[in-house]
Amino acid sequence: MTEQITLPEELNISLGSESRDFAVRGRRARPIGSSMSQIIFGIVWLGLMTFFLSFFFDSFSQGGIKQIISTINDANEGNSQNSGIFVVILFGVFVLIGIYMLLAGVFSLMKRGGYFVGTPTRLIRFNRGKMMWDNWDQFNGNIEVSGNNNRGTITLEMRTGHKAFGKSNSYIPNIVYIQGVPGVYEIEQICRKRIKEHDPTPVL
């Protein structure tokens, strides 16, 4: 059975008299593995950028950068200074990307998951004053459960998503994580039942 929790006033007002299938509070916004992967990617990215930057400035100090720039702009004499500035800005953008990935991973690791309330018609998410909800027909029925019934994670795939970068035929669905909550197997059965009830796919 899912635990009984006290919901924020805003969430109670939004629910009104709507019946509740379950109400839980997530321990984290995303699974630890997902956050750590993003953190590691950010660290590796920054490491590579540091290596390239050190090579760039080492070449610059030895005068070799002039040869690099002149090779790139052999048809544009007199633009070596502008080209150098462009290269520095380009590397700066890549460094900022790495910093963003690293900080986003750390933030997601520390961020609480918020409240999740399931009703007969929708799944409501409430976190730090922000409320979102999705009708059950927005989920495709693919559900993954990990952990144990005392503290586990439910992963719900949605029908919406985006194309994978560089892969025109690869589609990545949006994910809703109900992370670190008790009674995951009971909640999973409820979610599966509601998604099936609201499945928009016509029965052949």
Span 97-150, pLDDT tens digits = 888 888 887 877 766 778 999 999 999 999 888 899 999 999 999 999 988 888
Would you say residue 1 has pLDDT above 50? no
Domain residue ranges of the chain, discontinuous segments joined by +:
9-29+112-197, 35-110
Higher pLDDT pick, 147 / 76: 147
The rounded percent of the chain whose pLDDT value lies above 90 is 32
Q: CB of 48 within 8 A of CB of 196?
A: no
What tens digit of pLDDT does each residue of 63-73 get?
555 555 555 55
pLDDT of residue 192: 95
CATH fold of 9-29+112-197 reads PH-domain like (2.30.29)
